[in-house]
Amino acid sequence: MSKNTSLLDLIGIEHNKLNFFQELQNNIQELTTLNLQSEDQRREIAAILDGITDVMMVLSEKLEIISVNHVFEQLFPGINPIGKTCYSLFRNVDHPCSECPAFRALSTNSVCKETAIFRIDNKNMQFDMVASPLKNPDLTENRILIFKRDVTLEKEYQAKFYQAEKMATIGVLAAGVAHEINNPMAAVAGFAEGIQRRLARLDDSVPEELAEDLNDYTNTILKECLRCQDIVKTLLSFSRPIAADFLPVDFNQVAKDTLRLLDHQFRKRKNIHLIIELTSPLSHIYGDEAQLKQVILNLMTNAIDAVGESGEIHVKTFTENNQVGLKVSDSGCGIPPENKDMLFEPFFTTKSVGHGIGIGLSTCYNIVSEHKGEIIVDSSPGKGSCFTVLLPIQ
């Protein structure tokens, strides 16, 4: 490489990072081999490294940090990483991470890529990691060049896009299923009402006990038909926007009315301790009261199922950042990490047969999205779960 051919030529290759990393590695090795130690070249390399917006580290074969760039210092201010192992610094463990691409990069002598989640400042952050081996006969041991790019926001938007795509697909399916159910249910309800009308004209010729039984049966049929209609409405909520006009809603009153529906559940399970903390005054929001009650009802039902026969459920409303919020937290079994990404998928459920078909949280997601809000889940196995619903104040 001549002195006029600089590493600055590599900066324009942002659209293909793997090629960028490989070429950067080759040029760094070439500079080391040729021992070009002029001040101009050192400044040139320093300028290029400062222009990289990813965290960059050089590790030893023992995964000890030899050097870092300025982005690392921005992410971890006040920490001197030199000499520390990457796994002790990022993971706070005493052994290398199983997903670490550095070992693969050294053994295969190729650029390796991996995506991993790290806990930084009490929040989970996702990074795309690229490891490139720096093998040079003039060095006493090999080096590993690591790039870590923060893709947290990108992954979040990607997950929301995939979720919206799934909901659109299930909406088409639900609309077809709902209409197919409506037709036979209308026939069943119509014939049940017809039987009741005929019974009214046959009071004298039908024994009283038989008439009472038939009235009881037909009333049950009609009641169950109405329940099926509610299920159909839930399915239809997947397929089209909420038709009702949004009106000012007192979220505290919505929560109170919904909790009143669950009084019988808590009377049966006396070992479940319910804590209600409703912030007052609470700003009104615009929404569909019936749909919002359905969200709270689903979250509360799931919390009751999670705690089982005994435990604690905490319901709280609050105002934060021009949003009205509701938290439903429980001391139940928690959610395994592998299930978190599937919670809002239609028909995904961990409940046994007969205790749910997995459309409750999907319905909640759809309703909250229509209200321009979001649902946040925080859960750990054995430590309970917390579902937070945030709705904008308009």
Q: Where are the domains of the chain?
A: 7-150, 157-239, 247-392
CB 300, CB 258: distance < 8 Å = yes
Nearest to 130 by CA among 106, 151, 152, 101: 101
Fold exhibited by the domain 7-150:
Beta-Lactamase (3.30.450)
Angle at 241 between CA 240 and CA 244, to 5 degrees: 120
* pLDDT tens-digit series, residues 93-123: 788 777 778 878 877 888 888 887 777 776 7
- Partnered with residue 328 across adjacent β-strands are 315, 387
pTM here?
0.43
Pairing outcome for strands 374-379 and 143-150: unpaired
Q: How high does pLDDT run on average in the chain?
A: 76
* pLDDT tens-digit series, residues 147-205: 888 888 887 777 667 666 666 666 667 667 777 787 788 888 888 888 888 877 776 67
Using the structure block, give the residue that is written with the tokens 């960028």. Answer: 20
Q: Give every CB contact of residue 20 below 8 A, 6+ residues apart in sequence.
A: 10, 13, 14
Is residue 287's pLDDT more than 60? Answer: yes
Is residue 211's pLDDT more than 90? Answer: no
To which H or E segment does residue 102 belong?
helix 101-108
Q: Tell me 85's DSSP state.
A: B
Using the structure block, give the residue that is written with the tokens 């205790």. Answer: 355
Residue 50 has φ and ψ, to the nearest 5°, of -70, -25
Is residue 329's pLDDT more than 70? Answer: yes
Topology match between the domains 7-150 and 247-392? no
Domain 247-392 falls under CATH 3.30.565.10: yes
pLDDT average, residue stretch 46-53: 70
Q: Tell me 269's DSSP state.
A: -
For residue 315, the model assigns a pLDDT of 93
* pLDDT tens-digit series, residues 55-101: 888 888 888 888 888 788 777 787 888 888 888 888 777 887 777 78
Domain 157-239 falls under CATH 1.10.287: yes
Is residue 327's pLDDT more than 90? Answer: yes
Share of the chain above pLDDT 70, in %: 72
